[in-house]
Structure formats: C-alpha cells, structure tokens
C-alpha cells in the first residue's frame, strides 16, 4: 500500500484550507491565551490581592474559594465550547476541503 502522493502546497493554497487555518488559529490561540491568563489570576490574586479573596460571598464561603472553583467550570465550559465549534465549523470545513480536492 504505497502512500498516495499529495500536492501539499496546492492544498495549503486552497481557499477552503486558508479559511480553516485562519478560523482555527484565531480560535485556538485566542482562547488559549484567555484560559492561561484566567488561570494565572489565581496565584497572582492570592498573593497580591488577599483582601479581595477574603470577601465573603455566601455564608462563610469567600471570593477566593468561588474563584478557584470557577477555574474548573471555565475550563470545562471552554472545552465544551471548543468541541462545539470544532465539530460544527472545523470538521465541516475539513470535509468540504477534502471533497473539493476529490481525495
């Protein structure tokens, strides 16, 4: 089963691929930076804004606790959002590209 030869640079110039690549890059790096920044607010906030973390929100449960817990939900939410966008947009564009190329 010899591997099929592809003209990679032609595929790379295909408008569908360029659209896929732009959408993906913007989404992936944009949200990666968001999630990383959101995460580092936790150790930075705990160290330099202890007053904020001490504010009680529900009963004895304080802002710091809710913020740390929110990290889990933000990560899960982002994972689900990514799955939604990837399944809907990225996979569709990939399929269309492959059809275009008659592979």
Name the residues that contact another protein, by CB under 8 A: 1, 3-4, 6, 8-9, 11-12, 17, 20-21, 24, 28, 31-32, 35-36, 39-40, 42-44, 46-48, 50, 53-54, 58-62, 64-65, 68-69, 71-72, 75-76, 78-80, 82-83, 86-87, 91, 94, 97-98, 101, 103
CA 44 to chain centre: 22
Cβ at position 37, least distance to another protein in Å: 11
Cβ at position 88, least distance to another protein in Å: 12
Cβ at position 50, least distance to another protein in Å: 6
Task: Please compute Rg for the chain using Cα positions.
Answer: 21
Cβ at position 8, least distance to another protein in Å: 4
């Amino acid at each position: 089963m010899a591997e099929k030869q592809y003209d990679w640079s032609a595929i790379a110039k295909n408008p569908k691929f360029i659209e896929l690549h732009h959408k993906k890059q913007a989404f992936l790096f944009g949200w990666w930076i968001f999630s990383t920044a959101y995460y580092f607010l936790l150790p930075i906030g705990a160290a330099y804004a202890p007053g904020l973390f001490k504010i009680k929100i529900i009963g004895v449960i304080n802002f710091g606790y809710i913020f740390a817990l929110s990290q889990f939900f933000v990560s899960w939410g982002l994972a689900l959002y990514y799955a939604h966008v990837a399944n809907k947009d990225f996979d569709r564009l990939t399929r269309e590209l492959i059809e275009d190329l008659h592979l």
